Structure 1
Amino acid sequence: MKLSVLDQTPTSNGQTSAQTFQNTIELAKLVDELGYNRIWYSEHHGATNLASASPEIMIAHIASTTKNIRVGSGGIMLMHYSPLKMAEVFKTLTTLYPNRIDFGVGRAPGGDRFSTLALHEGRQPNVLNQYDKLVETMMFMTDTMPEDHVYSRTLAAPLDAPLPEVWLLGSSGSSAAQAGRFGIGYSFAQFISGQLETSMLEAYHENFTPSEFMPAPKINVGYFVMAAETTEEAEYHAASLDLNLLFLDKGMPFQIFSPEEALNYSYTEMDKMAIEHNRKRFLVGSAKDVANTLREHDEKYGIAEAVLGTISHSHEARLQSYRLLAKELL
């Protein structure tokens, strides 16, 4: 099984954004050395707990500081941007770092309604044409815009750039078949919905049509993960994520809580039920147990690649989780 990373650039209580980005660089260098396949950066706007609002800038910097790992977006929220601009950004990246860049696209806003309104300069975004925008972006990348298209005489620079891998991100399964029709990869966010099903992966494979971006189908699955030497240690660090997700669901601002803060928090019975429900979204335990669960998912669903997102208050605990799982699975 291939292992990859989703880095949402978490910012812990008392930590500056500059420290967060230094942690991001350290993590990227570590997983590159450990043999992870790819690392993706998310796009979040108006968040106090996540520092990455510009994955394209993160990609450029991280690709320059690593050697082998693929670097990409997980994902670009295409509803906010023009296809031409995104084609130009990623063609620039693939020219600088050929065969290492992934263009992962999400359909969510990546922020609250206030951030979305500001990104669209006070206008309501058109959320109905996102698949059309993805198609146009890919046509700009391949210089295949139809002659009768309004953009037929528009070129996306730089010319003759290598193509990135293109991925469509989804959390409900409804986009799986569409990713297959486009001939691009499909990344299912188990960490959002917790509802991985065989049927959605089958829909992707059944509809897959080879393309210039991807000659054969590729699927990966994203998980929240906290692994440690022992289950007790993993549960201790995972308490932070329990409280983080609870605050996120309530729409309350926060930075990444320490395990002590989380364990001493006064939870209502409804809070405890919400935490139990959210636990479907991530894997917590000893590295051996987490690795065995991933192997079971691979056997059951045919997952060739797991994308691991680890959020903890302790940066060292985060690094150690990735080290331990690499030792078990790579």
Structure 2
Amino acid sequence: MKLKLGILDQSPVTMGGSAASALENSINLALLAEEMGFHSIMYSEHHGVEAYGSSSPELLAAIILSKTSRIKIGTAGIMMRNYSAYKIAEWAKMLSTFYPERFILGLGKAPGGLKDAVMALNNHKPVVLSNMETKLEEIIQLIREEEGIYDGLIAQPTHVQHMPEIMWLGSGMTSAKEAAKHGTGYSFAAFMNSENGMENTEAYLREFDGTQYFSQPSLQVAVAVSVAGTIEEARRNAYGMAYQFLQSRQLVSPNAVLSPEVIEEKILGTKDEDEFFTFLERIIIETPQSVQQKLRQISEKYNTDNLLILCNMYREEDRVYTYKSIIENNN
């Protein structure tokens, strides 16, 4: 049985490159992904960081939807603390009207940037962090055109024939239970938290309420992958991702994807060396011949065929090689 494979594209900027080049790479990757048979592409949201080229996944998703005809396109995700539920519902309904059954509304609770960027997005006002689940409820009410807290306020366009698929992003138990409670899909970030993953996904599947937004659970698992001709090459190609994971854990702004040689100079022999290699071990590092078996093991472990693949590399040709190797061996 083939896996339902998707791409998590963060529009990675590489050392010496630019955000414009990263966005052009994202467009080219999307066209290739549709041609090769990927099920979906999801775009992330980051603000005020050098590492990622896209700050507006909803705009990038709209552009890619206009350039493709089959593949599902979504956000992974919209950082809800920075926007009103009303505005999110409006543009989500617009994209679902123009591209019925192809747009996925992925929503997340993470800030999407460090303190200064989050403050700027919120007009330099303190961010209320306790209302994320309430915002999800409001978005659902506005999309479904239910009576809610707005006394008849509508979110245009109304009478959308195909409501957008909603994925609630997270890496912890709280997000899993919230997705189950509201009947949305759940995208579990295994590349961020693989230790307690099965507990979270099992809770989602067990507690899913089919009387809410969806009638059936939709579980997606996001993993980081590096594929090359040899394990050693794949391992070195993954250095850039591992270093960005390390920087995010340390709450510093991630660099553009650095070359393996530069990372070795920064890491080897320092206090961060052990933690860096811990992050590296969380990445699935395989050859074209072995990657399918590994992804099937992940699929069986989490009881889902829906896998979202993250791959940020110093050389774009290595990133493309990883995605090609994965889809060509999906049989």
Output the CA distance in 2 between the equivalents of 1:145 and 1:228.
Answer: 53
Q: Counterpart of 2:152?
A: 153
Amino acid at match of 1:276: F
Show CA shifts across 1:218-266 (max 9, x none).
Answer: 1011011111222122122112223333344441552110223224445
Q: Counterpart of 1:15?
A: 17
Q: Counterpart of 1:294?
A: 295
Write out aligned runs for 1:289-328 (5 A).
289-328=290-329
Output the CA distance in 2 between the equivalents of 1:220 and 1:253.
Answer: 25
Identify the match of residue 140 of structure 2 among 138, 143, 146. 138
Q: Counterpart of 2:184?
A: 184
Q: CA deviation at 1:277?
A: 1.9
Amino acid at match of 1:115: A
Residue 16 and residue 55 in structure 1: after superposition, are their counterparts in 2 closer, same or farther (change >3 A)? same
Amino acid at match of 1:303: T
5+ residue gaps, structure 2, are none
98-107 vs 202-211, greater mean Cα deviation:
202-211
Output the CA distance in 1 between the equivalents of 2:50 and 2:206.
Answer: 41
Matched, 1:65 2:64: no
3-state DSSP class of the match of 2:201?
Answer: helix
Output the CA distance in 2 between the equivalents of 1:223 and 1:83.
Answer: 28
Q: Counterpart of 1:175?
A: 175
Q: Counterpart of 1:275?
A: 276
Output the CA distance in 2 between the equivalents of 1:94 and 1:187.
Answer: 20
Output the CA distance in 1 between the equivalents of 2:119 and 2:266.
Answer: 34
Output the CA distance in 2 between the equivalents of 1:282 and 1:196.
Answer: 16
Q: CA deviation at 1:116?
A: 1.0
Show CA shifts across 1:298-330 (max 9, x none).
Answer: 222212111001000111111110000111114
Amino acid at match of 2:183: G
3-state DSSP class of the match of 1:169?
Answer: strand
3-state DSSP class of the match of 1:176?
Answer: helix
Amino acid at match of 2:88: M
Q: CA deviation at 1:13?
A: 1.1
Show CA shifts across 1:76-96 (max 9, x none).
Answer: 011111111101010010111
Residue 318 and residue 184 in structure 1: after superposition, are their counterparts in 2 closer, same or farther (change >3 A)? same
Moved runs in structure 1, 4+ residues, more than 4 A?
A: none
Amino acid at match of 2:111: P
Amino acid at match of 1:40: M
Write out aligned runs for 1:20-59 (5 A).
20-59=22-61
Matched, 1:108 2:88: no
Output the CA distance in 2 between the equivalents of 1:109 and 1:266.
Answer: 27
Amino acid at match of 1:254: N
Residue 21 and residue 200 in structure 1: after superposition, are their counterparts in 2 closer, same or farther (change >3 A)? same
Output the CA distance in 2 between the equivalents of 1:163 and 1:211.
Answer: 16
Amino acid at match of 2:7: V
Show CA shifts across 1:145-190 (max 9, x none).
Answer: 24xx3x0221000111221000100112221121111111011001
5+ residue gaps, structure 1, are none
Amino acid at match of 1:198: M
Show CA shifts across 1:187-224 (max 9, x none).
Answer: 10011123253222221122212256422111011011
3-state DSSP class of the match of 2:243?
Answer: helix
Residue 44 and residue 211 in structure 1: after superposition, are their counterparts in 2 closer, same or farther (change >3 A)? farther
32-41 vs 234-243, greater mean Cα deviation:
234-243
Contact 1:88 1:157 in 2 (8 A): yes
Show CA shifts across 1:255-301 (max 9, x none).
Answer: 11022322444523532211122134321121333322211122222
Amino acid at match of 2:294: T
Output the CA distance in 1 between the equivalents of 2:137 and 2:30.
Answer: 30
Percentage identity across aligned positions?
A: 32
3-state DSSP class of the match of 1:181?
Answer: helix
Q: Counterpart of 1:257?
A: 258
Contact 1:194 1:280 in 2 (8 A): no
Q: CA deviation at 1:26?
A: 0.6
**TM-score calculated relative to the size of structure 2:** 0.94
Contact 1:44 1:110 in 2 (8 A): yes
3-state DSSP class of the match of 1:47?
Answer: coil
3-state DSSP class of the match of 1:175?
Answer: helix
Aligned residues: 327
Amino acid at match of 2:67: T
Amino acid at match of 2:269: T
3-state DSSP class of the match of 1:160?
Answer: coil
